[in-house]
Amino acid sequence: MCGIMATFEADPGIGVVQATELLTRHLAHRGPDGIGAGSSGRAVVAHARLAIVDVAGGQQPMHAEDGRTILACNGEIYNHRQVRRSLGLAHRFRTASDSEVVLHLFEDMGHELLQRLDGMFAFFITDGVRFLAARDALGIKPLYVGEDQQGGLWFASELKALVGRCPTLFAVPPGAFVTESRRVERWFTPAWADSPGKRGDVSPDELLSRLEQAVVKRLMSDVPIGVLLSGGLDSSLVAALARRHLSRLKTFSVGVEGAPDLAAAQLVATAIGADHNQCTYSVREVSRCIDEVIYHLESYDAALVRSAIPCYFVSRMAADQVKVALTGEGADELFGGYSHTQRLRDPVALHRESVRLLKGLHSMNLQRVDRMTMAHGLEGRVPFLDVAFVDFVMGLDPFLKLRQARGLEKALLRSAAEQVLPREIAQRPKLEFSQGSATDVVLEQYAAARVTDHDMARAAARFPIDTPKCKEELLYRSIFEELFPGEPARRTVSRWVVPSSQPMLS
């Protein structure tokens, strides 16, 4: 995992030295293992590296044999070994890094290379005349693009590198790319986006096997791997499957003293034989980190900030022992794990809501995972969002995912989980991360103490667009505005919305 920044046709004064300085100032936390920069023609490319694969030899930016083509890539290409073999002797590989396949595929195929990649990624590659800036299918890794006042293009892993420099900026959509034509084009359009699946049955064994394949794929690493373990169904299942393939697995959980997640995570770790680590944090520690969390999160959405607090603390703890951490994000979107999806009675409506949630993940839970892990130089990986696994689950008849008689959500997944987890975990009712860690009450109390009634009375005048509706929302919005002033930054923020027009069970 890394941080990238690039310019194309920007002010000629923006050279390698300044690009390096800007990257170091804004994105160095994403890549504590080295900073590099280079240029080619009309482009300047910079890279902050978190060394995961080919630790000794995978420095970036990378140059192709022609000396002109240059790449900065953030992410992991899980099928890089297969791609290398398919390229044969047509190219001379200089490293064992997974990112190098992008360089050589670009030379051969241009933007069509994206169809060859299986992974999570955001990258910028150029030969000085043409360029390709692209983002993975589901938007696991971030990529922002902005235009400066002179018409130059800027690309960066995080918003903070562009705010104040680019009056126009936006996030590249998931499964999309930008070229020198300056058009945003789609490269990934899944079949499940248009119509519900039709497969009418799946056994727990098959579901577990397919998820295990996704987990194993994400064990690719030359550095230690762990799991961020809340003790809920999703992260516990990932941990149990990863433990099958690792002689030793470290797991990590956090919460306020007495939080339900702490006991549940310990139960899971003991059952699967993991080396478990946990820590508690105080009300004071939560209040002191809010500004920093919002700085890294780059959002003021209250639900997202709430879940980001425990994610921030668990990532900080894990980063002291591992450099890669698997998480359970994506299961609720795939299997109807939210309270509002659990109430749906129409299979087609459930499928449509799953599609909506999956399309929005990049600016919600995936944004949280990326920013909170990378704030501490930790790489987060999400097995549930393996493209092949997503295709499989979304290809099932959504009737299979509807609420079952026993009343718990994600019944399909729970049946599979009972094969590898204690039953009390496989059947543990869902809690939001902020609830399970007992952070939600702390944040409500802190916001009530910090934001006055007078502040709330002025909220609409201060923020006429997307006006905060409670003290907690106003607190986060105010902090965000101080850190990222201006309408261009605000427009990048997505909000958690539960549709009110869908048919529900009475």
Dihedral (CA of 116, 119, 124, 127) sign? negative
Instruction: Using alpha carbons, list the distances in angstroms from residue 268 to 212, 215, 252, 381, 428.
Output: 17, 17, 11, 20, 12
Task: Using the structure block, give the residue that is written with the tokens 């241009």.
Answer: 110
* R_g of the chain computed on alpha carbons: 22
Whether 2 sits among the annotated catalytic residues: the reply is yes
Task: Using the structure block, give the residue that is written with the tokens 């696991």.
Answer: 140
Q: Find the Cα–Cα–Cα–Cα dihedral 165, 170, 171, 175, rounded to 10°.
A: -130
Q: How many Å apart are CA 120 and CA 2, to the nearest integer? A: 12
Is-contact 53 96, C-beta < 8 A?
A: yes
HEC states along 2-42?
A: EEEEEEECCCCCCCHHHHHHHHHHHHHHHCCCCEEEEEECC
Residues with Cβ within 8 Å of 194's Cβ and at least 6 positions away in sequence, in order, are none
Q: How many Å apart are CA 97 and CA 77, to the nearest integer? A: 9
Residues with Cβ within 8 Å of 140's Cβ and at least 6 positions away in sequence, in order, are 75, 120, 362, 366, 370, 382, 385
Q: Which of 2, 73, 166, 311 is catalytic?
A: 2
Task: Show the DSSP H helices in 407-452 as ranges.
Answer: 411-417, 423-426, 433-436, 439-450
User: Nearest Cα to 138, choosing from 324, 459, 382?
Assistant: 382
Distance of CA 82 to the CA centre of its chain: 25
Task: Show the DSSP H helices in 172-229 as ranges.
Answer: 204-217
Using CB atoms within 10 Å of the CB of residue 70, give its burial: 0 to 12 exposed, 13 to 18 middle, 19+ buried: buried
Tally Cβ neighbours within 10 Å of residue 433: 27
48 token code pair: 């902050």
Q: How many Å apart are CA 338 and CA 146, to the nearest integer? A: 34
**Residues designated catalytic:** 2
